Chains A and B, each alone.
Chain A
Amino acid sequence: DGGITQSPKYLFRKEGQNVTLSCEQNLNHDAMYWYRQDPGQGLRLIYYSQIVNDFQKGDIAEGYSVSREKKESFPLTVTSAQKNPTAFYLCASSFRTGGTTDTQYFGPGTRLTVL
C-alpha cells in the first residue's frame, strides 16, 4: 500500500525538551511538507522540501527544524524555542510538476501535547 505514515500518533513532551516527529512516504513524491493545525486557524506551513538535501521555511518556521536526507523521509524537530508547540502536526507530500499532479496527500497526523 502506498501512502504517508507519521509516528507517533500521540506525543507528550515536557517543557524545555526537543522532540522529533517522523514522516515517511512511499509514493515516490519529490516534495514533502509539514503543517501545523490549530483549532479555527486552518493549516499553517512550517517547512517544505522539494528535493533531497534542500528545504525552505514556510510561514511559521521559528522553533522548528527539519532534515531531508532521503527522498522518503522528512522528520520535523520541535525545539524548546517553540513557544506554543501543543498542536496537531500534519505531514504531506506531492509531485512538483506544475499541474494537478502537485496535489498534496496527507499523513494521519501527530498530536503533540506539552505538559
Chain B
Amino acid sequence: ETGVTQTPRHLVMGMTNKKSLKCEQHLGHNAMYWYKQSAKKPLELMFVYNFKEQTENNSVPSRFSPECPNSSHLFLHLHTLQPEDSALYLCASSQPGQGAEEQYFGPGTRLTVT
C-alpha cells in the first residue's frame, strides 16, 4: 500500500450505532488531519494531529472522537450521530517543517447516517 488509505470506503449507520473510521499513511509524515466534505460546502477541518498530539479541534461535536496511536494511524470514532453528519470524511497527512505543507489525501469514507 502506498500513500494514504482509508477504511471503510462506505459506511451506513444508524443514529444509535458506534463505528470507527480508519486512516493509515505510508509516507512517513508526522501530521495527520480529518476533514468533512459535505455537498455544496467547503471542506471543513475537524482535527489536526502533529507528532501524535492533537493540535487543533475545530469546534467539532463530542460525538466525533479522534484517536492517533502513532504517526501512521488516525481513527475517528463515531457515536450517536445525526443525519446531518452524513458526508465524505477525508483523511490527509503532511510533513511539518518542510516548507509548504502539501497535504496528501486518502480516498475518503462516504458516511450515511440513517
- A in complex with B: no
- A interface residues with partner B (beta carbon < 8 Å): none
